[in-house]
Amino acid sequence: MPTSRLTRRAVLGVAILPWFAGCSTPLPLSSRLPSDAAAVTRLRESAEVHGWAAYRRLTDINVSYSGEWRPLINLIQPELVDAGFRGPSQERLMPAERVVAQAYTGTLGRKQVWWRRGNAAPDQLGDVAVWFNGVQSNDPAAQDTAALVAEGYGLFLLGPLWLNDRGLSMQLSGTERVDDRLCDVVNVWLTPGLGRVAMDRVAVCIDRADGVMRRVRFTLEGFAGTRGAVAEVDTFEHERRFGVLWPMRSYERVVHPIPIPAHDWRITGLDVNRGYAPREIAGPEFTNLAAAPAAKL
């Protein structure tokens, strides 16, 4: 009986999530403000702490992840979680090219994603391709969720490095405590947004003591099933490698419209600057210099 009741509630959540998501959202998109110089400075200071100078010298970033999805989020957002495919992953980022590629292995086989960020123009929001077991998908939901996740994981991994020096509108918005650490909050109007959408809103929580991003909160406008919802990722166990500060462990939760634990993951492999070209990560599998797994940690 409890399992049946939980399933019905989860199914109901699928139906009501977009409808409730616009009510009292903690990150309203309609309140965009002119950029505040103090906010730009605070984000830049954090980027420097995270290794801005070293980051700008990276031509490619190669990372592997392992993690666990919480069961309720899979019931409520099965297309986004894609549990049959989104197991351990190998990911390739080329920051200067605005490209992220992901190779997942799950119980149903292999999923490959290629994503290039565009700009905020309605017809230039970015390009995405998705393959399941080597077969390219034309399903709009699969494409939209893949683009959202690929861009999101760049943000989670790199934080202020991903946002700095992009001419984004941002404002300081008081303080917040993250695991009892006092943080300055920088609200950012992200254009384009996470995936194939013109805008999302992001709140970056920057530790006042050491400048490290401890939390990032964000809207999820890039997929119809999550539009209006807000989630956040906390970062832990930071390590400096190749001159850049990396969050070795991360935890995601949904905070609006209903609080739900979502995902725990950690970095299991990392290396940089292999020197491959975008075409080597643009197909149904990684090739040549991009093919080897990220160096195991």
* CATH number of the domain where residue 243 is located: 2.50.20.10
Closest by Cα among 279, 266, 274 to 294: 274
pLDDT digits (tens, 9 = 90+) for 25-60: 889 888 777 889 999 999 999 999 999 999 999 999
Pick 78 or 208 by higher pLDDT. Answer: 208
- Paired with 187 in beta bridges are 171, 203
Which tokens sit at 107?
């119980």
- Does residue 246 lie within any of the structural domains? yes
Is pLDDT at 244 greater than 50 in this prediction?
A: yes
**Domain contains 3:** no
- Percent of the chain clearing pLDDT 90 (strictly above): 80
Q: Are 51 and 245 in contact (CB under 8 A)?
A: yes
Question: Is residue 228 in some structural domain?
Answer: yes
CA distance 289 to 47: 29
- The answer, yes or no, to whether residue 12 has pLDDT greater than 60, is no
Hunting for tokens 């979680």 — which residue is that? 81
Inside any domain, residue 170: yes
Q: Long-range pairs for 101-108 at CB < 8 Å and ≥24 separation?
A: 101/150, 101/281, 101/282, 101/286, 101/290, 102/146, 102/149, 102/150, 102/153, 103/285, 103/286, 106/82, 107/83, 108/84, 108/132, 108/133
Segment 165-181 shows an average pLDDT of 96
Instruction: Please give the C-alpha separations between residue 26 and each of 31, 41, 232, in angstroms, as whole numbers.
Output: 11, 24, 11
Q: Is residue 1 part of a domain?
A: no
Mean pLDDT of the 11-28 span: 55
Tell me, what's the pLDDT at 122?
Answer: 76
Residue 11, pLDDT score:
38
| Nearest C-alpha neighbor of 116 from the set 145, 150, 152 | 150
Q: Is the pLDDT of residue 138 over 80?
A: yes
User: In the chain, how many domains are there?
Assistant: 1
Amino acid at 123: D
Domain membership of residue 265 as a residue range: 23-290
Amino acid at 266: R
3-state secondary structure of 24: coil
297: in domain: no
User: Is 204 part of any domain?
Assistant: yes
- pLDDT at site 74: 83
8, part of any domain: no
Q: How far apart are CA 25 and CA 217, in angstroms?
A: 12
| pTM flag (> 0.85) | yes
Span 101-122, pLDDT tens digits: 999 999 999 999 999 999 878 7
Residue-level pLDDT at 22: 45
Instruction: List the one residue out of 213, 183, 202 whose CA is nearest residue 46.
Output: 213
Measured CA distances, 126 to 62, 114, 116, 225, 226 (Å): 21, 11, 6, 19, 19
What's the rounded mean pLDDT across residues 90-107?
A: 97
Q: Which of 11-25, 61-75, 100-114, 224-238 has the lowest mean pLDDT?
A: 11-25
3-state helix, strand, coil in the chain (%, to 5): 30, 40, 30
Count the neighbouring beta carbons within 10 Å of the beta carbon of residue 203: 20
Read off the pLDDT band of 77 (50, 70, 90): confident
